[in-house]
Structure 1
């Protein structure tokens, strides 16, 4: 017979807990509904974050430039080594043919020397390591053997060097790809932040930068030393012709530039070859640590890791390619975003 038990009633304590939890959930939900939405960052906050991302992108850009320069250098070195190996192998083949001719003449005159016959089908090193062989060969044959041996050693060394450089080239290409991705990621993140601004806010930021650049340009042009002569003056004059040219990472002109691309291009117009990257440029010429000692056209470096460079324009101003989204322009030392480290007179 079925049992007819009354269902167990929840205890008073349990009801109290459940009621309290429900009330808390309702209260939290009400608070969440009434909470103010996350405030949109201000124009100045966005600018500060974007400037930091652009700084990081430029750091990666200079690493990218260094890897690219190294890749090009390795490619040239490998090509030169491979050409040398090819020529060396031709010389070895010619020397072997010469020994073959000696052997043929020896055979026609009464039989080929067994040592020479073995030589033509094996490595000459085996013979030169055995003194008993040398006394069976003519002086001319011994010299030919020594020359072949030396050539083969050179070829082996060059092939080993080429092999190591090819490995280095492979790792450099990997680094180049990684730095390129890093730059692109930073730029994409900066663009995402900029897209949160209204059209009016973007226009205000652009006008602010353009006004600052115009002011810097006027200050630079009032400097009597702006007509500096010599190669520094010629480099500065070349850079002035590129005012308004867009910044593009990895670019070295003539229509777009990154920071070290502009300085290396400008000095090239003055007939002076300087390194490609800002870090390398910082280690040439004569260092100038005091701003008061700078002359127009000197290279000037900013930030502790020297990832940014421009040309001194006088009156505490610099002409440079700042970052993505900007153009070659004048700017005051005080607004560079990083400390002045030193100048270099080339």
Structure 2
């Protein structure tokens, strides 16, 4: 029987070893080169950076409107939950008081109920007084039955209030989760925009952001059609005039997503604050604001009308006449005057 022997390893000769090492180094260099090609980011031109940043700002504004809506609903849920908790506490206090009174009455009846009523009548030194007491006790029993019914009703009310509070708490937690999700989306888009801008030289960055950062009013002074002051705007009524005047007073205020003033705004926050100053309550988000009044066509626009942009209704401005609006554009630009044809027009609403 042949013995199984392990084959002997052959050692590499000097030339062979050098060839293998060369191939290994070449392979590593090739792999490194391929890796570098895979992760290298193409250099964008300033125009490409501007296009991407503008897109990111628009996506961030869409997420901002979703955040604003979720926050509005979360705040409402928080107020309802607090109201339910207060109402439950009041109902619990009433229940505790009624239950204690019912317990005292039951204890008194228990103490007096150990002797048969017939013996009590027979042993009584004043039968007439006993009968009067018995009649009172019967009426008290009726009152006790009513008290029991009231206590049971109060208990059912407390259980219903606690159930409603439980549902409201679940709604609040859902809104808070949505808030967190949209906040992450907004901050992520804005961080990416900042990263892209940081890759440009100071001069390129200034050129890219100059169009957004310079208020339209200052670039259009030579255009006599641009209303540069609120008192030059012929608003159709006092509420629209007040809203327009407020918007003018906030020119130059910074854009901050989620802000509703008085010192910073996002686009729908500015619209809401302007009409709040006129004593009119409108919803928080662009999606709801477009339905907050009477729809009007572009040809029918009057100062004070809300003008909306993009197919997703993600941006809003306050019309001031002559094709111009005041709006809060994005983080790179303050509240400013701009032409309504600056963005894709989606519709308009006259607040009523």
Q: Under a length normalisation based on structure 2, what TM-score does the superposition of the two structures give?
A: 0.76
Quick one: distance in 2 between partners of 1:247 and 1:97? 59
Distance 2:298 2:115 in 1: 82
Q: Is the 8 A contact 2:217 2:226 kept in 1?
A: no
Contact 2:61–2:186 (Cα < 8 Å) also in 1: yes
CA contact (8 A) 1:104 1:112 kept: no
Q: Is residue 321 of structure 2 the alignment partner of residue 314 of structure 1? A: yes
Match of 2:285? Answer: 277
What SS class does the counterpart of residue 233 from structure 2 fall into? helix
Unmatched 5+ residue regions in structure 2? 1-22, 117-137
| Equivalences for residues 25-36 of structure 1 within 5 A | none
Equivalent residue for 1:326, pick from 314, 324, 333: 333
2:255 maps to which residue?
247
Does residue 40 of structure 1 match 2:43? yes
Contact kept? 2:215, 2:337, Cα under 8 Å:
no
Q: Are the equivalent residues in 2 in contact too, given 1:287–1:345 (CA < 8 A)?
A: yes
Q: Which runs of 4+ in 1 moved over 6 A?
A: 222-225
Structure showing greater radius of gyration is: 2
| C-alpha displacement of 1:74 | 0.9
Flag structure 1 segments of 5+ consecutive residues without an equivalent.
1-20, 114-134
Q: Classify the secondary structure of the residue corresponding to 1:139.
A: helix
1:214 and 2:222 are equivalent in the alignment: no
Other-structure match for 2:346: 341
Are positions 1:89 and 2:89 aligned together?
no
* 2:101 equivalent to 1:98: yes
RMSD (Å), alpha carbons: 3.3
Give how far 1:222 is off.
7.4
TM-score by length of 1: 0.77
Cα deviation, residue 310, structure 1: 1.1
Is 1:230 aligned to residue 238 of structure 2? yes
Aligned match of 2:54:
51
Q: How many residues align?
A: 299
Aligned equivalents of 1:211 and 1:252: distance in 2? Answer: 20
* Higher mean C-alpha deviation, range 102-111 or range 199-208: 102-111
